[in-house]
Amino acid sequence: MKIRFLGTGTSTGIPQIGCKCPVCQSVDKRDRRLRCSVAITEGEHQILIDCTPDFRQQALTLPFQKIDGILFTHEHYDHTGGIDDLRPYSRFGAVDLYMEERMEDAVKKRLPYCFAEKKYGGIPNIRIQRIDSRHSFLIGEREVIPIRLLHYKLPILGFRIGNFAYLTDVKSIPKTEFEKLRELDTLVISSLRKTEHISHLTLTESLQIIDIIGPANAYLTHFSHEMGLHADLMEELPTGVYPAYDGLEINL
């Protein structure tokens, strides 16, 4: 199983429009971050987590093949804004979008033409598969375990597939969910910046959760430009914790 980071930035991306800070002006490619998403591939099978406004650009870096399913963490635009760009994948049949009921309602309001009784040509062929945080499900032969997270007060989802877990836009994790995160080989968790934020983990908070979960390796994602330069961050992190970057691939 291979994990490819398609984007590792927060909702504004890096560089942020109009910003002249050292991170946004950096010539290090690892400091250029699209909106947050990963592709999980295993042979001819491919699963994505989230479909960002940068999806078209991200998809051009991937082999063009059927997407077996897209797992959605929540309805915010930086995680769903690329759904319309799934149109080319219609040649493989419907793309299954896995999401909670609340998010389904939001997506149908945002993209009503995709769900109209009489559809016009050229729209993405998508099919919503409703999921529940209390129950695992299969995509092909792969079991997916939803993890309940809180994005301030908004209930969202993370996902575990095998010994890999992906948790983004986290502010807190209910105690009952930590049992689902035992014995991980690789954990990906968001870490927005070093200073306090109402709905995202700080670097210190992310490291505390990593210590509790105890994965063999952990990767930080969903950075803002306030996190600092990638090269500096690499020197600050403890052993076994790494800053992810766009295009990074992990083989599990």
* pLDDT tens per residue, range 65-98: 999 999 999 999 999 999 999 999 999 999 999 9
How many distinct structural domains can be found in the chain? 1
Q: Which domain holds residue 14?
A: 2-251
CA distance 1 to 43: 8
pLDDT of residue 120: 81
Q: What is the 3-state secondary structure (H, E, C) of 46-90?
A: EEEECCCCCHHHHHCCCCCCCCCEEECCCCCHHHHCCHHHHHHHH
pLDDT of residue 122: 87
* b/e code 36-64 from CB counts within 10 Å (16+ = b): bbbbbbbeebbbbbbbbbbbebbbeeeee
pLDDT band at 133 (very low <50, low <70, confident <90, very high): very high
Q: What is the mean pLDDT of residues 186-213?
A: 98
CA distance 36 to 8: 5
Measured in degrees and rounded to the nearest 5, phi and psi for residue 243 equal -80, 120
Assign 16 to helix, strand or coil.
coil
Helix segments in the chain, DSSP class H? 55-59, 77-80, 101-110, 203-213, 230-236
Q: What is the mean pLDDT of residues 166-172?
A: 98
Mean pLDDT of the chain: 97
CA distances from 53 to 62, 73, 83, 102 (A): 16, 15, 8, 20
pLDDT of residue 119: 82
CA distance 61 to 121: 27
Q: What is the mean pLDDT of residues 30-54?
A: 97
Q: Residue 117 above 90 pLDDT?
A: no
Look at residues 22, 4, 34 and name the one whose alpha carbon lies nearest to residue 223: 34
pLDDT of residue 176: 94
pLDDT of residue 233: 97
CA distance 95 to 69: 6
pLDDT band at 118 (very low <50, low <70, confident <90, very high): confident
Query: In the block, which residue shows the tokens 């995160």?
Result: 181
pLDDT band at 143 (very low <50, low <70, confident <90, very high): very high
Q: Residue 121 above 90 pLDDT?
A: no
**Can you give the CATH number for the domain in which 35 is found?**
3.60.15.10
CA distance 35 to 53: 7
Query: In the block, which residue shows the tokens 């306030």?
Result: 226
How many helices (H) and strands (E) in the chain?
5, 14
